[in-house]
Structure formats: structure tokens, C-alpha cells
Amino acid sequence: MKKEKLIFGTLGLLGLLFTACDSNDDGTSPENPEAGVESKYIITATPTAAGSEGVADYILTTDAINEGSISTAGNGIEQDGTYRYYITTNNKFFSMLYGQGNPGAVTSYELNAEGSLEKLSDFQSETVQAFAAVDDEILLIKISRNADSPIASWYRFDTNTLQFVAEGQINTQELADKESGELAFFTWITQVGDKVYLPYFTMKGCCSDSFGTIYPNEANIAVYSYPEMEYETTIHDERTSFIGRYFVNGLSVDENGDAYAFSSSVATTNGELSSTLPSAVTRIPSGSTQFDDYYFNIEEASGGLYVTDQVYVGNGKFVGIMASERTSAYASGNQYAIIDVYNQTVTPVSGTPNPETVVLTSSKSNYVSDNKSTVSVGITTETGSWIYNIDVASATATQGKEVVGGTITAISKLDVVE
């Protein structure tokens, strides 16, 4: 294996160590790849065998996700470190370590001509709290939660050259512009046209209530040019609480260029849930930097459920992960529904496990089929972990591949690179 170490000039504060690998790093399952394969599904799973507490995820590859089983035992590529998060963009798979304040490892892969995962890069970057694909780049943001140092640092990573190409800073106290001095904390990143929209909640950043706010009933989205990352304006609304959740995307763009904003209504004050507004959806029309009068009350339409996570499928339809009772600002839901933002309907998905038996859902990374008809999600129950394939048109789920000895954390797909 040939290794080259490069240091990125002005990006030195990242402490990046880039490693290019010529050799193949095989992460295949027992379904060994054969010549002529065109694509593979990528499944990440955390081992659950006895004595495996605190271990890292494994990356598994498979030809199909609608049947059969695959095991974490003796298969896949073991990741270094726990708390891994994933993004697939530009036909590359990126595995990112949440370092809990320390620098974290980032590894990228592609699917070679033999259908095996091949490691492209391995480096360290600052631990970030938001990251998303923007054109052929990944924008990452490390966000301060300290009122004494209210600076968020952003980094642009080129997925073609596999190098960081720019960095900058945002004073989140100035951005929030609150008399109380609260900071803006970005929930996620969404590309809208040629701009980047950063939804945020405001937080005290001090004392015994760092993540608490005295503004629980408002939504804010900071708008930046791209790639310059120059601040343009803030979009504000008081019909919902903040958009998205901590480390959870709440803003998606449809085929018309309209951006739909989901609020879970989970702001907290002094450790208690304090939002008094329902979970709802609002809209920013294409080309606008203002919310219009569109308003969709999710709780009313669903009979009392609220959205914890969602993934856009197409034609105004989302697969929503839903919950019936707010227990914290961070809990993910245990049941599924098709949310139609055009017709303002919520249709429960049948065929998924009893919500009372659900232990974990793969809320951070789910696979949408190429024809936009099916969403594949990972559901772990008290008896095992399976991929469930949700047919959007019929709002029905079918149990697919089982992951033996692991809990599913992400599902994606890569095409072979010739």
C-alpha cells in the first residue's frame, strides 16, 4: 500500500492527514462480487454480539436488500471508533466519526470494477455537527455551543479531488441577533438552488441550560451564497418552532424548487420541552427568501403524531418517522407514515413492526430507490434487525434482508466505477 501524506496549507487547523490507497480494501459479504456487477447496496451496522459494547460499525455490501440475510460476523470493513455517520454523494461513500469534541476520522470509498469497496482516502478533520452534499462538495460545520466563544467554523470538501478547498467562520451570536445573547445552532444544511440554507435554533450556550432557549416558538433559516459562504439574509417565521432537530435535517427541496420546512416542535427551556406550537410544515417558494402562507399541521392530520425525521421521495411525498409522545428533544420515532405535502395528508405505513417492539430506526441515512417508488429503512426490534422496503404509493412495507448480529445504522447504494 502506497501512502502519501499531504498538509493543506491554510487549512492546517483541521489537522488533516490525507492517505491515498492504491490497494483494494475488501468489505464484501459472503455474496462475493463477480465481474460485470453494476452496483451494490451498502449497509452499515453496529455489532450486537456479547462483549461488543462500544465497538464500531461494520460496512457490509450486498447485491439485494429485499430478501435473505447477512451477518456482521467475519464480514465487512470495521470502522475505527464509535458514533459513525454516513453520506453518499458523487458516487462515493463517506464514513465520518463523531469525535465528541476531538478530531474524527473520515474515510471515503468507491465500488471498483470487481464490485468491491475500495478505500480512496483516510484522514482526520474536526468533529462537525452538520454536513451535507452541495454540488460536488461536502459542506461541514463545527458549531460552538459556548457563549464565550460563539464561532462556527465551516469547511468545503471537494469530492473529486478528496481535499478541503476552503474554510471560514460564522459568529453565531451575531447571526442570532438576540438581546439575550443566545447563539444560533445549525440543525443541518440544505442546498436550495445556488445557495445554502442553514436552519437553526437559538440556545443560551451557558450556565446550566446550555441548549435551552427563551425563544421556543420561532423558526429561523440563515441564507448563504455558495461557494463564497457570504451571509445574505435570515428567513424568520413564528408559526412553528425551529426547523429540523439537533443533527437532523428538516428542510427539503422538491422538483419545483420549493423548500418544505419540517418542525418537530421540541425546543427546551431549563430542561423541559417548551414549544407550544404543533409539529408542522411550512414552505419557501422557489426563488424566494421568505415563507409563504402555506401551513400544514402534521399533528392534526395524523391524529396526534409528530415528525422526528423525514426523507423526501418525490412528487411532494415524504416518508416520515413519527412518534406519539415527546419524551426529549433527541428521541427518534418508532413508526412510519407517508406525508403528502401537496395534498396535506398523513397516511400510516402498514407492514412495519409493532411500535412498542421497535428499539432503533435508521433515521440518519435511508435509501430512496432510483425510480422514487420505494424507501428502504432499517428497523431493529427486540428480536432482530431488518431492512424494510416501503412502497410509497400503497403506504405498505415489506420485510427485506436481515442483518444478523447487528443493528442497522445506514443504507445506501453505489454504482461500479470502471
Residue 280 is assigned to a structural domain of this protein: yes
Q: Is residue 29, in this structure, part of any structural domain at all? A: no
Instruction: Look at residue 232 and tell me if it is in a domain.
Output: yes
Instruction: Answer yes or no: is 111 within a domain.
Output: no
Instruction: For residue 365, tell me if it sits in a domain.
Output: no
Nearest to 243 by CA among 305, 288, 293, 185: 185
pLDDT at 88 (0 to 100): 95
Quick one: pLDDT at residue 18? 38
Q: What integer pLDDT is reported at residue 85 of this predicted model?
A: 84
pLDDT score, position 84: 77
Question: Does residue 59 lie in a domain region?
Answer: no
The pLDDT value recorded for residue 23 is: 34
For 393, residues 6+ apart whose C-beta sits below 8 A from its C-beta are 373
Q: Provide the pLDDT for residue 11.
A: 42
Domain count within the chain: 1
Contact predicate 148/182, CB 8 Å: no
Letter string b/e over residues 339-378, b meaning 16 or more CB atoms within 10 A of that residue's CB:
bbbeebebbebeebbeeeebebbbbbbbbbeeeeebbbbb
Q: Is 179 exposed, middle or buried (0-12, 13-18, 19+ CB in 10 A)?
A: exposed
Q: Rg (Cα) of the chain, in Å, rounded?
A: 21
Sequence length of the chain is 418
CA atoms within 13 A on the CB side of 235: 25
Instruction: Provide the grid cell at 414.
Output: 453505489
For β-strands 358-361 and 345-348, DSSP reports them as unpaired
- Reading the block at residue 276, the C-alpha cell is 407550544
What residues are paired with 358 via a beta bridge? 381
Tell me the whole-structure pTM to 2 decimals.
Answer: 0.90
Q: How many helices (H) and strands (E) does the chain have?
A: 2, 33
313, 293 contact by CB (below 8 A): no
> What is the per-residue pLDDT for 127?
78
Quote the domain boundaries for residue 229. 134-305
Residue ranges of the chain with per-residue pLDDT less than 70: 1-36, 49-55, 81-82, 98-105
Strand boundaries in 219-288, DSSP class E: 219-225, 231-237, 251-253, 259-263, 268-269, 272-273, 280-284
154-163 contacts at long range (C-beta below 8 A, 24 or more positions apart) = 154/229, 155/11, 155/14, 155/125, 155/126, 155/128, 156/227, 156/229, 159/89, 159/90, 159/92, 159/108, 159/133, 160/90, 160/136, 162/18, 162/20, 162/108, 162/120, 162/121, 163/6, 163/8, 163/18
Residue whose C-alpha cell reads 474524527 in the numeric block: 104
DSSP letters along 62-81, please?
Answer: ES-SSSSEEESTT-SEE-SS
Cβ within 8 Å of residue 263, ≥6 positions away: 219, 240, 241, 242, 243, 244, 250, 277, 279, 280, 281, 282
Q: What is the pLDDT of residue 104?
A: 61
CB atoms inside a 10 Å sphere around CB 395: 18
Instruction: Give residue 357's pLDDT.
Output: 94
Q: Which string of b and e fits 118-129 if b means at least 16 CB within 10 Å?
A: bbbbbbbbbbbb
The amino acid occupying position 359 is: V
The per-residue pLDDT for 281 is 98
Residue 184, beta-bridge partner list: 202
Task: Identify whether 159 is part of a domain.
Answer: yes
Q: What is the pLDDT of residue 161?
A: 94
Prior bond of 150 cis (ω within 30°): no
